[in-house]
Amino acid sequence: MTSVPGIEKVLIANRGEIALRVAQTLRRLGIASAAVVHAEDKGSPAALAVDEACAIEGETPVAAHLDSDQIIRIAQEIGADALHPGYGFLAENAAFAEAVEAAGIRFIGPGADVIRLMGDKIESRKFVGDAGYPLTPSAAEEDDPATFAARAAEIGFPLLIKASAGGGGKGMQIVHDASELSQAIDLARSEAERYFADDRIYAERYVVAPRHVEVQIMADAHGNVVHLGERDCSIQRRFQKLIEETPAPAMERSLRNRICEQAVGIAQAANYRNAGTVEFVLAPDGEFYFLEMNTRLQVEHPVTEMVTGVDLVEEQIRVAAGEPLRLSQDTITFTGASIECRLCAEDTSEDFRPAVGPLLLVRPPEGPGVRFDGGISQGQDVTTAFDPMLAKIIVHGADREEAIARARKALSETVILGCTTNGEYLERILAHPDFAAGRVETGFIPGHADELAAPGLSTDDRDTILAAAALSNRDFVERVDAIPEPQASMGAWQN
């Protein structure tokens, strides 16, 4: 007997820490759990945590996890009532969500139509703008070529001239003041033609030192939508989040309320269902603009769980089963502060290059207010087959200061040996005075590159490390014992 009527068994179509995390909630709810497992993950904590580990095959491990036909077939074979996609892989694939539902299995997520709408960056912006929510001010040349320059200047400087068909920064011009405008427009147009064979261009406000702020949404099939507060995810490298926290630091209550209310409005307009996240760009002047909506559980959802006490995966399952939300906006309370650090196999001194190697020793952090969401195990080989994220260290404190202190302690106590990680680097970010002061923005990491570099070693530390290495080296220790007495008494200083 499960505690969610209608859901007896759930297939988790994911791996690693998120598969393990979903399995833990299923167990607590008395729901049978299954997961698709590629040979590469055989014996992983997630594979061991579920009641049924179902083998999936593919040319590469990632290809196996993207094989929707195979995954749906497995779900049917094992008699799953519902499927949890986690994040990544097929989580935001509208055709997959549709196919799962068509196979008579509940997709634990929003409807395929909303996934499709929000998955199209241009369509979703148009939808949100038409619904009356703020977008980065922009002007398209094709709307009225004669007035384009004037409409662009109205946006204010600095601004960007971009190719409509563009991407990856190609054909993009930053314009700092009006005197550069006409030349930049000509240049952008010719580059757009050259790179994309499409000379349509548009102007957009260039937000300097923006913050990335997002809002957690939960909605049911009965029209109820609530928010569970915001998260600041400004600490990023290569457009990937590294540290997330809630509440967003250095933000006035009125601004926070406005952002959260707008997110709820956007979800309502989209007729959204299940867990979702509305992402905004926040400018230093307090203006904020819709960026995109993620139609799934986020990697960083635990910080929201820490301050609200809500298990978001449980709410997702209940909503998927058709239950009305148990939460109402008035009953959701926020206690203290929470920070998540993404522990990744990468070399921060080599431009965050992914690292590989065997996990010779894994020792998660412990202590009050510390949560470790990891799908790794000692002895496992870290390869480039999957995403470099190994685990998430999440802490909760009475306030931000305590959360930072706990996160720093947890990071320095986490031991992962054999594969290079970014653990020390994350600790240096948390230790930075600008981070402590809440002065975060998406350019934080490149802007503080020098201060965040690994400090040198003192002679004492160097000696300690060398002695530890020598005394744990079998040959070296045997040699100590093998030295004959007369020579030993002379010492080795003579070399």
Partner 1 sequence: MGYDFELAGTSHVVHPVHVPGRGRLSIEGRGFDAELFPGLVPGEHILEIAGRQERIFVAVRGDVHFIHYRGRVHRVEAVNALERARRAADPGGGAEELRAPMPGTVVEVIATEGAEVTAGELLMTIESMKLQTAITAPHDCRVAEIPVSMGATFDQGDVLVRLETPDETGDDSSEENAEKEKSK
Among residues 188, 273, 423, 441, the one that binds partner 1 under rule CB under 8 A: 423
300, 87 contact by CB (below 8 A): no
Task: Determine if 411 is a binding residue for partner 1 (CB under 8 A).
Answer: yes
Angstrom distances, CA of residue 164 to CA of 76, 169, 331, 431? 43, 11, 44, 41
Among residues 54, 354, 440, 443, the one that binds partner 1 under rule CB under 8 A: 354
User: Does residue 326 have an active-site annotation?
Assistant: no
DSSP state of 159: E
Considering only the stretches 11-19, 97-105, 310-318, 354-362, report the one whose residues sit in contact with partner 1 under the rule CB under 8 A.
354-362
56, 75 contact by CB (below 8 A): no
334, 257 contact by CB (below 8 A): no
Angstrom distance (rounded) from CA 84 to CA 254 = 35
Angstrom distance (rounded) from CA 303 to CA 280 = 18
Q: Please state, as a whole number, how many other Cβ atoms lie within 10 Å of the Cβ of residue 344.
A: 25
Among residues 8, 323, 347, 387, the one that binds partner 1 under rule CB under 8 A: 347
Among residues 226, 418, 442, 445, the one that binds partner 1 under rule CB under 8 A: 418
Task: Determine if 355 is a binding residue for partner 1 (CB under 8 A).
Answer: yes
Cβ proximity to partner 1, 174 vs 454, nearer residue: 454
For residue 410, give the amino acid letter. Answer: A
Cβ proximity to partner 1, 202 vs 386, nearer residue: 386
Among residues 413, 432, 448, 452, the one that binds partner 1 under rule CB under 8 A: 413
Bridge partners (DSSP) listed for residue 217: 227, 276
Cβ proximity to partner 1, 145 vs 168, nearer residue: 168
Cβ proximity to partner 1, 312 vs 416, nearer residue: 416
Considering only the stretches 66-74, 211-219, 270-278, 410-418, report the one whose residues sit in contact with partner 1 under the rule CB under 8 A.
410-418
Give the side-chain half-sphere CA count within 13 A for 124: 22
- By three-state DSSP, how is residue 282 classified? strand
Among residues 143, 381, 401, 451, the one that binds partner 1 under rule CB under 8 A: 381
Angstrom distance (rounded) from CA 470 to CA 477 = 7
Among residues 186, 383, 398, 446, the one that binds partner 1 under rule CB under 8 A: 383
Q: How many residues bind partner 1 (CB under 8 A)?
A: 57
CA end-to-end distance (rounded Å), the chain: 75
Cβ proximity to partner 1, 174 vs 470, nearer residue: 470
Considering only the stretches 153-161, 194-202, 394-402, 415-423, report the one whose residues sit in contact with partner 1 under the rule CB under 8 A.
415-423
Phi-psi region of 491 (alpha: psi -120 to 50; beta: other; left: phi over 0): left
- In the bound complex, what is the minimum distance in angstroms from residue 370's beta carbon to partner 1? 15
Angstrom distance (rounded) from CA 296 to CA 394 = 20
Angstrom distance (rounded) from CA 184 to CA 164 = 15
Considering only the stretches 180-188, 280-288, 336-344, 382-390, report the one whose residues sit in contact with partner 1 under the rule CB under 8 A.
382-390
Among residues 79, 353, 398, 453, the one that binds partner 1 under rule CB under 8 A: 353
- By three-state DSSP, how is residue 123 classified? helix
Cβ proximity to partner 1, 217 vs 426, nearer residue: 426
Residues of span 432-491 touching partner 1 by CB under 8 A:
454, 457, 461-477, 479-481, 483, 485, 488-489, 491
Angstrom distance (rounded) from CA 209 to CA 288 = 12
Task: Choose, from 296, 342, 371, 428, the residue flagged as catalytic.
Answer: 296
Angstrom distance (rounded) from CA 282 to CA 252 = 13
Task: Determine if 415 is a binding residue for partner 1 (CB under 8 A).
Answer: yes
Angstrom distance (rounded) from CA 94 to CA 120 = 11
- In the bound complex, what is the minimum distance in angstroms from residue 487's beta carbon to partner 1? 8
> Could you give the residue numbers annotated as active site?
296
Q: Which residues bind partner 1 (CB under 8 A)?
A: 347, 350, 353-358, 360-361, 363, 381, 383-385, 411-413, 415-418, 420-421, 423-424, 427, 454, 457, 461-477, 479-481, 483, 485, 488-489, 491-493, 495
